[in-house]
Amino acid sequence: NAGVTQTPKFQVLKTGQSMTLQCAQDMNHEYMSWYRQDPGMGLRLIHYSVGAGITDQGEVPNGYNVSRSTTEDFPLRLLSAAPSQTSVYFCASSQRLAGGLEQYFGPGTRLTVT
Amino acid sequence: GQSLEQPSEVTAVEGAIVQINCTYQTSGFYGLSWYQQHDGGAPTFLSYNALDGLEETGRFSSFLSRSDSYGYLLLQELQMKDSASYFCAAEEDMRFGAGTRLTVKP
């Protein structure tokens, strides 16, 4: 199992550009989510999905879109990049079990917007 | 929504025991998770508490008191490799605390 994979690892964008961060998981998990991590602020939830065809907003959704057409894939789209979106982005997948929601994180995408 | 408060930094020596606290304010609550993150890496799941009491997983234990809206992560027999950031997270809306940076000194 590859677990959760993310591409690209690094990306530099100019203000106003758009791009898609890719996320895939091979664990057949129902739940997938996107977080951003800024220094000293922990992880903040952007969008999440509880299954194919179902998405919802998290804490900081503005400027981002998601879709979930398959169980495996959960891409994050930046519509018009802004310097405030410079951050590290993590994708996670999880399965709700009796032991709670154990999330498996991808390696992250380090995004810089100039 | 929820907020979770953790100390920003903790320092301890190798072989010691350290406790990282987490207090939360919530309008609803399912359980509290703990994650470890090394510099430059991704968070990894450590433990989860849905009910009051202590959950033990090797050198790591986690405690929850729902009546006090409080939990902690206990790390025993500290090793240098335990130097990392530790996050508590509320399951209800997958909100994370800002993290506690643990430094283990020889």
Interval A94-112: pLDDT, tens: 887 655 678 999 999 999 9
> Parallel, antiparallel, or unpaired for β A87-97 and A31-37?
antiparallel
* Cβ distance of A59 and B31 shorter than 8 Å: no
Does B2 score more than 60 pLDDT? yes
Consecutive sets of 10 residues in chain A, 114 residues long: mean pLDDT of each? 93 97 95 91 91 93 96 97 97 76 92 97
Q: Which amino acid is at B32?
A: L
Two tokens, residue B79? 């090793």
pLDDT at B71: 96
Cross-strand bridge partners of residue B17: none
CB contact under 8 A, A42 and B1: no
| DSSP class of B58 | T
Instruction: List the single residue in B31, B42, B94 with the smallest CB-CB distance to A106.
Output: B42
Q: What is the Cα–Cα distance from A23 to A13, expressed in whole angstroms?
A: 19
Q: Which two tokens stand for residue B30?
A: 């399912």
Answer whether B42 sits within 8 Å of A44, measured CB to CB. Answer: no
Sign of CA dihedral B47, B90, A74, A17: negative
Of A35, A42, A103, the CB nearest to B99: A42
